[in-house]
């Protein structure tokens, strides 16, 4: 009963088989392997973007910060939600890799940036003053850090606001596949057709061992990204092992199959939680993350039975009334089973 995060699950067997196959013989280094050629072609086809530049890196943070650095000057601001991964979980890496850019936090419900707040925040950024930080890119997270999914129309609305000031737009898609299947959109509709210039396309949270893609829809930015990746120490020598993972990910829509399963398990878990003592959802469970309140007694019973998940947003007090509502985050993955969920719910009922 492991619901701590989708990055705690194992590697999908088809991905592991692809790694074993890639291990045979010799292959060119640094992304010149023939498997990477297939990955580029597949991504361009899936995103209906024949000129897109496609790169692989090992972590989501790397994908985010190198993408933003490529589109952001050191004297600019990056507009993002206060709970965005680049704001709360990347140890200042965006500021470091951009050479000092600041984060401008734009609030909104359920981890979504409010369009009105975005327009007001960008508009209030002083321009033409040498003493002021200048306007820079917008970064959107989909699925949000609170489990909600932006529709393509919502992404397009935010991007349109940014484009009023000619600002580039980045999409943090650590759970992009989950957002995609939840929305019913095509990859193109969720990205460049909505105004996104660069995408961090996640894999590690969705069944891969450790690889993320960066998809740059403006190929003129490709060379700068390549230089930043090398200079930052993120160009893999034995790149074929990244390529092999990602090709398996995209083959026969495995990435979407895994995301659909994780989302379905998330929906099943959310539905079950509202029937538990003190059970309530804190945010929309649009994909595979569930933010919920349960009575302390229900939490204690579930965790005593072996359920693993995190208090949210902070640890619970050591003692308190049994019926006290305590909040938590539970995440389903490609390998979560219905039995896992049923066991957790049964234990929580006491």
Out of 55-69, 97-111, 120-134, 192-206, which region has the weakest mean confidence (pLDDT)?
120-134
Arithmetic mean of pLDDT, 54-62: 98
- Which residues lie closer than 8 Å to 252 by C-beta, 6 or more apart? none
pLDDT at 193: 98
Q: What is the C-alpha to C-alpha distance for residues 339 and 94, in angstroms, rounded to an integer? A: 40
pLDDT at 347: 96
Res. 85: pLDDT tops 90: yes
pLDDT at 278: 87
pLDDT, tens digit (0-9, with 9 covering 90-100), for 285-311: 999 999 999 999 999 999 999 999 999
Arithmetic mean of pLDDT, 17-25: 97
pLDDT, tens digit (0-9, with 9 covering 90-100), for 97-137: 999 999 999 999 999 999 999 999 999 998 889 999 999 99
Query: Do the beta carbons of residue 225 and residue 215 sit within 8 Å?
Result: no
% of the chain residues with pLDDT over 70: 100
Tell me the helix, strand and coil percentages in the chain, rounded to 5.
45, 15, 40
Arithmetic mean of pLDDT, 137-143: 98
Arithmetic mean of pLDDT, 70-84: 98
pLDDT at 172: 98
* Closest C-alpha to 44, from 188, 171, 243, 174: 188
Query: Do the beta carbons of residue 250 and residue 272 sit within 8 Å?
Result: no
pLDDT at 128: 87
Residue 284's pLDDT band (boundaries 50, 70, 90)? very high
pLDDT at 233: 96
Res. 226: pLDDT tops 90: yes
pLDDT, tens digit (0-9, with 9 covering 90-100), for 240-256: 999 999 999 999 999 99
Residue 186's pLDDT band (boundaries 50, 70, 90)? very high
Q: What is the C-alpha to C-alpha distance for residues 159 and 197, in angstroms, rounded to an integer? A: 10
Residue 12's pLDDT band (boundaries 50, 70, 90)? very high
pLDDT at 277: 83
pLDDT at 108: 98
Arithmetic mean of pLDDT, 82-107: 97
Arithmetic mean of pLDDT, 142-168: 98
Q: Tokens 């850019």 map to which residue?
A: 101
Q: How far, rounded to the nearest angstrom, does the alpha carbon of residue 311 sit from its chain's CA centroid? A: 20
For 309-317, the CB contacts below 8 A with 24+ separation are 309/3, 309/4, 310/4, 310/5
pLDDT at 115: 98
Q: Tokens 């979504």 map to which residue?
A: 112
Q: What is the C-alpha to C-alpha distance for residues 182 and 286, in angstroms, rounded to an integer? A: 7
Question: In whole numbers, what is the pLDDT of the chain averaged over residues?
Answer: 97
pLDDT, tens digit (0-9, with 9 covering 90-100), for 265-283: 999 999 999 999 889 999 9
- Which residues lie closer than 8 Å to 3 by C-beta, 6 or more apart? 269, 307, 308, 309, 330, 331, 332, 336, 340, 344
Tell me the pTM: 0.97
**75 token code pair:** 């004297």
pLDDT at 350: 81
Res. 318: pLDDT tops 90: no
């Amino acid at each position: 009963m492991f619901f701590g995060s989708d990055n705690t699950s194992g590697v999908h067997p088809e991905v592991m088989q692809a790694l074993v196959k890639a291990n045979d013989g010799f292959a060119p280094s640094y992304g010149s392997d023939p498997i990477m050629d297939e990955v580029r072609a597949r991504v361009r086809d899936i995103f209906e973007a024949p000129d897109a530049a496609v790169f692989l890196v090992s972590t989501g943070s790397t994908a985010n910060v190198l993408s933003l650095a490529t589109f952001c000057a050191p004297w600019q601001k990056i507009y993002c939600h206060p709970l965005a991964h680049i704001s709360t979980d990347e140890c200042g890496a965006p500021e470091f890799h951009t050479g000092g850019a600041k984060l401008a936090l734009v609030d909104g419900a359920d981890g979504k940036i409010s369009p009105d707040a975005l327009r007001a925040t960008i508009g209030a950024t002083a321009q033409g003053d040498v003493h002021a930080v200048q306007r820079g890119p917008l970064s959107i997270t989909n699925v949000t850090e609170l489990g909600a999914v932006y529709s393509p129309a919502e992404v397009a609305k935010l991007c349109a606001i940014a484009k009023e000031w000619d600002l580039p737009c980045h999409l943090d898609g650590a759970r992009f596949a989950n957002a995609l299947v939840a929305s019913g959109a095509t990859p193109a509709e969720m990205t460049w057709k909505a105004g996104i210039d660069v995408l961090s396309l996640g894999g590690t949270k969705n069944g891969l061992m450790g690889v993320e893609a960066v998809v740059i829809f403006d190929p003129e930015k490709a060379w700068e990204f390549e230089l930043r990746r090398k200079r930052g120490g993120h160009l893999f020598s034995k790149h074929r092992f990244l390529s092999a993972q990602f090709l398996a990910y995209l083959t026969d829509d495995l990435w979407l199959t895994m995301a659909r399963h994780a989302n379905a398990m998330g929906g099943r878990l959310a539905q079950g939680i509202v029937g538990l003592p003190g059970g309530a959802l804190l945010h929309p469970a649009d994909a595979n993350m569930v933010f919920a309140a349960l009575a302390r007694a229900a939490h204690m019973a579930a965790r005593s039975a072996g359920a693993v998940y995190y208090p949210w947003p902070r640890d619970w007090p050591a003692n308190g009334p049994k019926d006290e509502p305590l909040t938590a985050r539970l995440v389903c993955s490609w390998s979560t089973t219905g039995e896992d969920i049923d066991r957790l719910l049964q234990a929580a009922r006491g």
